[in-house]
Amino acid sequence: MSGAPFRGLAVLLTGASSGIGRALARQLAEQGAWLALAARTRDELEEVAAECRAAGAAAGARAVAIPTDVADEAQCRAAVERAVAEFGRLDVLVANAGISMWARFDALRDLEGLERIMRVNYFGAVYCAFHALPHLKRARGRIVAVSSLTGKTGVPTRTGYAASKHAMAGFFDSLRIELADEGVSVTVVYPGFVATGVRRHAVGPDGRPLGESPVQESKVMTPDECARLTLRAAARRDRELVMTARGRVGQWLKLIAPGLTDRIARRAIEEGR
């Protein structure tokens, strides 16, 4: 495989302003990709676009910032249209935008936060896929959906988040089968804990961001490593990638000892890693 499989490919990347998205953007730029970077925060997004243009200058990278709230279908359609207008085509969609939660279901004051999670994590990915698909078919391109291990198994304090990631898994697994003869690959990646800072913005019991991370960020996977593994799987058009050894073992345990899997999930949250 070439050392720069995304060179010259037009990529729409959501959730690009921080965390895994920012790391993906930088690594794609270093390969020479043409990047349409989407996220809600304009200033941070412009910073990432500038970083990408600098990091990928020698490789011919391009980058444009497209402020987008993926919970709004019209904005997703506009982001796709802007990317195609900018680059003349669309080869890759990376559906990475997401928000988390950290609260027991019975501690929630209302369901507004859970509805927002589903709109961003699930419908945001669906909206982008819907509007990008005609262009991806012409390019025989790639869809990369960034899910979570909670898309494979339930986790306490993550009810709404797990539901959104399970929905993503079901949607993209089904879409992969539908596109089997269209030349468009669908790769779903399932990271474990990643030191993204996203948990500071996770929905708490009152529906507001926590403001601090309850996870020991120094002890979990870095965004750069997560991005590297994601792009390797996407380049190979892998079906899916469960990133951690514990996650892979957990899938087998769930089949033969589901109660043990539940206890492991509970302990992982209690230990904050």
Q: How many folded domains does the chain comprise? A: 1
Would you state the pLDDT for residue 204?
66
Catalytic (active-site) positions: 161
Q: CA 61, CA 35: separation in Å to the nearest integer?
A: 8
Would you state the pLDDT for residue 1?
46
Residue 61 belongs to a domain: yes
Residue 259 belongs to a domain: no
Q: CA 6, CA 87: separation in Å to the nearest integer?
A: 14
Residue 255 belongs to a domain: no
Low-confidence ranges of the chain (pLDDT < 70): 1-2, 196-201, 203-204, 206-219, 245, 247-250, 252-254, 260-261, 265, 269-273
Domain extent for 199: 10-244
H or E, element range at 242: strand 240-242
| Interval 182-191: pLDDT, tens | 999 999 999 9
* Token pair in block for residue 141: 């391109």
| Interval 123-171: pLDDT, tens | 999 999 999 999 999 999 999 999 999 999 888 999 999 999 999 999 9
Residue 5 belongs to a domain: no
Residue 165 belongs to a domain: yes
Residue 272 belongs to a domain: no
Q: How many degrees, rounded to 5, is the angle at CA 148 between CA 56 and CA 71?
A: 75
Would you state the pLDDT for residue 245?
66
Residue 152 belongs to a domain: yes
97: domain CATH number? 3.40.50.720
pTM score > 0.85 for this model? yes
Report whether 24 contacts 31 (CB < 8 A).
no
Residue 190 belongs to a domain: yes
11, exposed or middle or buried, with CB in 10 Å at 0-12, 13-18, 19+? buried
